[in-house]
């Protein structure tokens, strides 16, 4: 018999149902306001978006870009057996000319330099002269402009949006394809650079999203029709889910948000949680006894599921909101966006969905029998099984949790912590052309990680001969460092000008020549675009040296920074003009390369801090609600078990942490904790007036089937991400799906076993036998 005693919630839900058309009208207005903002949300996977705006390195990099110009940088590498043959020179020269004709694109290839240095000269008519020019100095080879079997064509372009970047890259590709049509001079033309990676991930993210929508829609149809067998129920679910998604994405657009590589998880996570919450509510609604009217039972079902559903949505929201402590911007944004979206989920579940249930007259089990009647057999089996095997399931779960923790954090002297990845190629399929091009380019040049040594002096500092001499000495000292593949700065360009003029490729020692060179510096800035990118033309006070390295970890960048400070100190001691004009402040390393490695460095702290915060808040809140600390702690076993076992699986299969897989802990904790909340809520609902066995049977009867289908929703919903072309998203999908299944298995085995232990109880049949034995004695 269902307890229909009145609570303070009953009048609230009677009001919602009575005013159902008002509720529907209110959501219609909200939907109309949300859609324009939702469609404004763009996709941008630029790696500078991985770091939060308040990070000191991010701020410094932005300030640096304001002085020297941001722009975006790609490189085309033309491979050939004989790069100085007439056919190859002609082809690459034609390519360079054609690319310079693309709007917003500038080239700094050796062909561009040759034409600017020798107006009227044509490298195709005199290949020998061009070869002598290209090989007569090490400057071009050190910059990677020419090498054994290749030329590079560096392209710089200034774009303001994702769409502009896409247009420029398509124009570059079209120009290259047109020049190379029918030509056999080159072995290959390879593309590399962050804009290409960003464009690739934008396209694949959008394509993946387009595949996810129909898959999820089909899943919702199959689940609702298979479980409730009603088109009216399907309509109530579909409208509620659609409104929830529109409100959540509309809020993102309203706040100026932009989707990144992990942002596709935001609407899907909200939809999956909303769907699971609706299943919990509607499953209670359809369990109407024959003697109870539909309206009164609907009010009872909403009031009965309010605390459990509110607590579970809150737990999920807290699990994601804890990601706000992250220094990784997309993860922080995702946490906040999902948390806000789940507020909409809660509102929709207890206002719009009940209104739609009433308006559409969704049937209960009296009118239409529901599916999964077989679960009643599980209700009889689970309590006895969990008691019998409690000393196996609980210790085994804890042991596997320990193995997972060691897999993640490592063990001193035996196992290193799990590897962390943020290199652009780590986000691309290994069989993609861009992946192969990038890896090949890394073999041709001394690294693709770029950073800048930023120097800030007094106004007019760069007009002084001794400062130029000192900067050249500092750059040559950097160039000799093992961590640096090449260093290019203002003195590189000046040395290039001297080489072109037949004066050698070094900064002169003669005071007169040096003074003449610096006196002509401001005039050269207007003639040579490359030099203008290294000098602050307004005040002649700031400059930088661009480094190309193979550094791929943040501690090495920190070490490089300390080395730069030491080199600057040594150089300034030999060249006092540097100390006088630039002061004692050491140079600062800025740039995308440093930011990428910092993201990797922050991944594990992100996981640890957000996970610990989620655990503490969830445990504290539900300790207040359920009042039993020991049992509540035991109730977290399934989530912890699923999360930590996943890290063991990742270690065993060679997977690594990245900006997607790092989210597994918070996602699984927040989402699977819903099941334990419903389990524990209904367990206490009956156990407080009965026994552990009656509590478990009541739980399985009321919530067990919903937990099973909620797990199915979570697993299949997230598994849909396996259709993505991006490896991190695919890995996240598979791991999350398996984790949810593991959590459910623990819900029905280890969790009941732990509750038997905590309450020190036995099955009713065993207690009855014990009483009979005592009576006989």
Rounded Cα–Cα distance for residues 533 and 542 (Å): 11
Q: What is the DSSP string of 297-365?
A: HHHHHHHHHHHHHHHHHHHHHHHHHGGGG-SBHHHHHHHHHHHHHHHHHHHIIIIIHHHHHHHHT---T
pLDDT in tens, 372-399: 566 677 777 888 888 888 899 989 999 9
Nearest residue to 676 via CA among 709, 645, 703, 644:
703
Q: What is the mean pLDDT of residues 560-569?
A: 91
Q: What is the mean pLDDT of residues 282-295?
A: 86
371 pLDDT exceeds 60?
no
Nearest residue to 111 via CA among 473, 101, 102, 100:
100
Q: What is the mean pLDDT of residues 249-269?
A: 84
3 state DSSP class of 118: coil
469 pLDDT exceeds 80?
yes
Contact yes or no for 603/420 (Cβ under 8 A):
yes
Q: What is the mean pLDDT of residues 231-243?
A: 95
Which residues have C-beta within 8 Å of that of residue 169, sequence separation ≥ 6? 74, 195, 196, 199
Mean pLDDT (the chain) is 84
Rounded Cα–Cα distance for residues 769 and 766 (Å): 5
pLDDT in tens, 329-366: 777 888 899 999 999 999 999 999 999 999 999 998 77
Rounded Cα–Cα distance for residues 410 and 415 (Å): 5
669 pLDDT exceeds 80?
no
Nearest residue to 91 via CA among 79, 101, 102:
79
Scored b (16 or more CB within 10 A) or e, 366-382 reads: eeeebeeeeeeebbeeb
Q: Using DSSP bridges, classify how beta strands 150-157 and 588-590 pair: parallel, antiparallel or unpaired.
A: unpaired
2 pLDDT exceeds 60?
no
pLDDT reported for residue 392: 92
Confidence of residue 604 (pLDDT cuts 50, 70, 90): low
Confidence of residue 1 (pLDDT cuts 50, 70, 90): very low
pTM for this prediction: 0.74
599 pLDDT exceeds 80?
no
pLDDT reported for residue 355: 96
pLDDT in tens, 632-663: 666 677 888 888 898 899 898 888 787 677 77
119 pLDDT exceeds 50?
yes
Q: Please state which of the ranges 184-193, 483-492, 657-666 shows the lowest mean pLDDT.
A: 657-666
286 pLDDT exceeds 80?
yes
Greater model confidence, 55 or 12: 12
Confidence of residue 769 (pLDDT cuts 50, 70, 90): low
pLDDT in tens, 410-436: 888 888 888 777 666 777 888 888 889
Greater model confidence, 657 or 689: 657
Q: Within 10 Å of residue 561's Cβ, how many Cβ atoms?
A: 17
Confidence of residue 621 (pLDDT cuts 50, 70, 90): low
The rounded percent of the chain whose pLDDT value lies above 90 is 26
Q: Measured in Å, how far apart are the chain's first and last C-alpha atoms?
A: 38
Domains for the chain: give ranges and CATH numbers: 1-70+229-370 (1.20.1640.10), 71-199 (3.30.70), 372-421+592-777 (1.20.1640.10), 434-590 (no CATH)
């Amino acid at each position: 018999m269902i307890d229909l005693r009145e609570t303070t919630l009953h009048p609230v839900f009677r009001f919602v149902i009575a005013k159902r058309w008002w509720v529907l009208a209110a959501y219609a207005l909200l939907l109309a306001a949300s859609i324009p903002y939702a469609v404004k949300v763009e996709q941008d996977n630029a790696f500078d978006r991985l770091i939060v705006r308040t990070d000191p390195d991010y701020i410094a990099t932005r300030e640096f870009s304001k002085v020297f110009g941001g722009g975006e940088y790609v490189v085309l590498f033309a491979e050939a057996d004989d790069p100085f043959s007439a056919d190859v020179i002609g082809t690459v020269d034609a390519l360079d000319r054609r690319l310079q004709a693309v709007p917003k694109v500038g080239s700094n290839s050796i062909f561009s330099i040759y034409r600017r240095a020798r107006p009227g000269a044509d490298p195709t008519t005199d290949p020998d002269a061009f070869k002598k020019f290209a090989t007569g100095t090490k400057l071009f080879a050190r910059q990677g402009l020419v090498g054994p079997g290749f030329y590079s064509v560096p392209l710089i372009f200034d774009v303001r949006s994702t769409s502009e970047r896409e247009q420029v890259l398509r124009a570059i590709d079209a120009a290259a394809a047109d020049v190379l049509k029918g030509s056999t001079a080159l072995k290959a033309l390879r593309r590399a650079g962050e804009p290409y990676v960003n464009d690739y991930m934008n396209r694949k993210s959008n394509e993946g999203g387009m595949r996810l929508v129909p898959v999820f829609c089909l899943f919702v149809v199959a689940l609702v029709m298979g479980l409730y067998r009603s088109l009216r129920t399907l309509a109530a679910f579909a409208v509620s889910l659609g409104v929830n998604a529109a409100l959540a994405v509309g809020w993102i657009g309203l706040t100026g948000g932009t989707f990144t590589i992990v942002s596709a998880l935001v609407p899907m996570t909200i939809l999956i949680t909303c769907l699971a919450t609706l299943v919990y509510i509607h499953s209670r609604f359809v369990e109407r006894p024959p003697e109870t009217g539909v309206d009164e039972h609907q009010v009872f079902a909403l009031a009965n599921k309010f605390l459990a559903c509110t607590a579970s949505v809150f737990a999920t929201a807290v699990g994601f909101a804890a990601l706000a402590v992250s220094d990784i911007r997309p993860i922080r944004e995702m946490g906040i966006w999902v948390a806000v979206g789940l507020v909409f989920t809660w509102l929709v579940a207890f206002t719009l969905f009940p209104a739609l249930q009433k308006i559409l007259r969704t049937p209960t089990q009296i009118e239409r029998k529901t599916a999964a009647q077989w679960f009643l057999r599980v209700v009889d089996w689970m309590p006895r099984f969990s008691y019998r095997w409690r000393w196996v399931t609980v210790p085994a779960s804890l042991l596997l949790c320990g193995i997972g923790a060691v897999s993640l954090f490592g063990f001193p002297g035996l196992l290193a912590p799990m590897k962390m990845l943020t290199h652009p190629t780590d986000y691309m399929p290994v069989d993609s052309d861009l992946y192969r091009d990038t890896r090949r380019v890394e073999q041709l040049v001394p690294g693709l990680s770029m950073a800048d040594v930023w120097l800030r002096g007094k106004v007019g500092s760069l007009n002084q001969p001794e400062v130029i001499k000192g900067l050249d000495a500092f750059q040559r000292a950097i160039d000799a460092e093992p961590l640096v593949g090449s260093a290019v700065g203002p003195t590189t360009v000046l040395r290039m000008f001297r080489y072109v003029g037949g004066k050698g490729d070094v900064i002169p020692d003669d005071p007169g020549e040096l003074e003449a060179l610096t006196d002509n510096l401001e005039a050269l800035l207007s003639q040579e675009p490359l030099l203008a990118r290294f000098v602050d033309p307004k005040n002649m006070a700031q400059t930088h040296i661009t480094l190309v390295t193979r550094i791929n970890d943040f501690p090495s960048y920190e070490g490089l920074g300390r080395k730069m400070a030491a080199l600057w100190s040594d150089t300034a001691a030999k060249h006092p003009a540097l100390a006088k004009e630039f002061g004692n402040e050491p140079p600062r390393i800025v740039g995308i390369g440093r930011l990428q490695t910092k993201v990797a460095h922050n991944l594990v702290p992100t996981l640890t801090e957000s996970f610990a915060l989620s655990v503490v808040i969830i445990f504290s809140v539900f300790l207040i609600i359920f009042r039993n600390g020991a049992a509540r702690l035991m109730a977290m076993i399934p989530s912890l078990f699923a999360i930590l076992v996943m890290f063991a699986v990742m270690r065993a299969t060679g997977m690594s942490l990245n900006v997607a897989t790092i989210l597994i802990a918070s996602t699984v904790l927040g989402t699977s904790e819903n099941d334990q909340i419903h389990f524990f809520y209904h367990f206490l609902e009956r156990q407080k007036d009965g026994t552990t066995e009656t509590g478990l049977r009541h739980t399985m009867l009321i919530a067990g089937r919903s937990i099973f289908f909620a797990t199915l929703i979570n697993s299949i919903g997230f598994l849909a991400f396996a259709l993505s072309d991006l490896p991190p998203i695919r890995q996240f999908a598979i791991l999350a799906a398996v984790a949810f299944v593991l959590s459910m298995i623990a819900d029905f085995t280890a969790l009941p076993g732990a509750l038997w232990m905590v309450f020190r109880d036995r099955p009713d049949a065993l207690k009855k036998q014990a009483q009979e034995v005592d009576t006989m004695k």
